[in-house]
Structures are given as C-alpha cells and as structure tokens.
Amino acid sequence: MTHYKTDRLDLHLMDCMDLMRGYPDKHFDLAIVDPPYGIGAAEMQLGKGKGTASRTWTTKSWDSAIPAPEYFDELRRVSREQIIWGGNYFPLRPTRCWIIWDKIQEFSGSEFEMAWVSLDAPTRAFRMSRVEAYAGTDKIHPTQKPVELYGWLLANYAKAGDKILDTHLGSMSHAIAAHYAGLHLTGAELDPDYFAAGIERVKRETAQMDMFADSPKIAQPETLSLL
C-alpha cells in the first residue's frame, strides 16, 4: 500500500518534498511536523516499550542529518502556521512561542523535547511521563510520540475545518489523533516499513471508536501554564 485515505486522513508513502510541491501556497492551515533531528536516533536502541519481547530496532539512516533548508522553505510556503518538533536543532528564526513535552522524569536521554512554533503566543508545556506515554504500547518507531500529545496540540492550536499537514508521519500517532479530533490530515512517510506498520496501527486504533467525543485520547482545550 502506498496511499491510505479516509474522510479525515490522506496518508502517502512518498518523499514529503514531492508531496508539498503538489499544493498551492498556504494550502494548509497548520503544519505539525517531527523531522529528523540529525542525532542518529534510528541507530539507537531506544526500546519498544514496556513489556515487549524485543528491544532491538532495524538499523536505519534517516536521522543522520537534519533536513535541508529547502524543506523549511517549502513547509512555510504550503502552510500558514507551523509547529516543528526538534526546533532547537534547526536554523529557524527566533520565536517567543515554544512548546515542550515534559517527560516528568530523569533519565539518560532528553528530559523534555522542544517544538518551535510560528505563532505569536505564550510558551506552553504538555506534561506526560514516558512511562505513562508508552504503558501497554508496542512502539513501532524509535522516536514515537504519544497520541495524547498530538491530541493536545490539535485541541489547542487547530480549529474545526482546518487542514493539517504532517511531513514525517513515523508511527502515525498524529494520524490517530487527527481522526478522533475530526480534522483533516495530509501526511507523508518515506520509509515503507514505518508506513506499513503505521497504517496497521491507524486501522487498529481508529476502529476502536468512531466518535471524537467518546475518545480518551484527545485532550480538550484548556488554560495552560506558562513556563
């Protein structure tokens, strides 16, 4: 399968640059993306989550370098606003709005991750421990983020009718959250292994419930604390 489409999701196995070139300027209201940080995460043995039989990932090279400047130029062209995970690794303009995922525990890796935000808005924090994020979950991607994180982002930074873009779908947590939020997500994933596993995950997890209001995954907008 190279394309998965529903009334809410339009997911492609393809290079994100080719995907974005097919859209006019400012077609998407919001891009929420998690591009490679250039730290070799795909080669790290980060584990597959609590209770899984294996903690060995197939070695891949997708995180050997950050995206070229042309990627960020094209992202800004096709989207009105952007939330870029790993923004502290990239040469982006100064912004007063950052989002962090606070993992609420000390360990050898990063204790939180940072997202650069194009909006002129206060800095915000999403707080969920790694233990809670991955409890009972078989991770299919080394840098998998929880569905709840994307649900929180969509609840607080998107609105009904928005068209959302994701250039690096990875484990497709974003796709699951968008399905339950009732928002339309267009996305790309270049790696066929991740794409196949991600689509199976989307099918499995979105089949559990059909109505956004019944889903435990999606956070509602809330008053958030400043950092």
* pLDDT for position 57: 54
- pLDDT interval class at 213 (50, 70, 90): very low
* pLDDT for position 88: 96
Select from 126, 125, 122 the least CA-distant residue to 97. 122
- pLDDT interval class at 222 (50, 70, 90): low
* pLDDT for position 47: 47
What does the alpha-carbon distance between residue 194 and residue 133 come to, in Å, rounded to a whole number? Answer: 19
Q: Which of 85-89, 106-110, 214-218 has the lowest mean pLDDT?
A: 214-218
Q: Which of 8-17, 21-30, 46-55, 137-146 has the lowest mean pLDDT?
A: 46-55
* pLDDT for position 110: 79
pTM score of the predicted model: 0.86
Are 32 and 150 in contact, with CB atoms under 8 Å apart? yes
Q: Which of 62-66, 100-104, 128-132 has the lowest mean pLDDT?
A: 62-66
Select from 13, 37, 11 the least CA-distant residue to 191. 13
What does the alpha-carbon distance between residue 136 and residue 113 come to, in Å, rounded to a whole number? Answer: 22
Percent of the chain past pLDDT 90, that is, above it, reads 70
Q: Which amino acid is at 59?
A: T
For range 77-96, the mean pLDDT: 97
Helix (H, G, I), strand (E, B) or coil at 199: helix
What does the alpha-carbon distance between residue 88 and residue 36 come to, in Å, rounded to a whole number? Answer: 12
Judge whether residue 226 has pLDDT over 60.
Answer: no
* pLDDT for position 215: 46
Identify the CATH class of 3-214: alpha beta
Tokens of residue 198, six digits? 């991600």
Give Cβ neighbours of residue 104 (< 8 Å, ≥ 6 apart). 127, 128, 129, 130
Structure confidence by residue, pLDDT tens digits, 27-84: 999 999 999 998 877 665 554 444 444 444 577 877 689 999 999 999 999 999 999 9
The residue extents of the domains of the chain are 3-214
* pLDDT for position 131: 87
Please give the helix or strand (H or E) that residue 89 lies within, else none.
Answer: none
For range 166-179, the mean pLDDT: 97
Judge whether residue 216 has pLDDT over 60.
Answer: no
What does the alpha-carbon distance between residue 56 and residue 223 come to, in Å, rounded to a whole number? Answer: 40
Give Cβ neighbours of residue 62 (< 8 Å, ≥ 6 apart). 36, 42, 190, 191
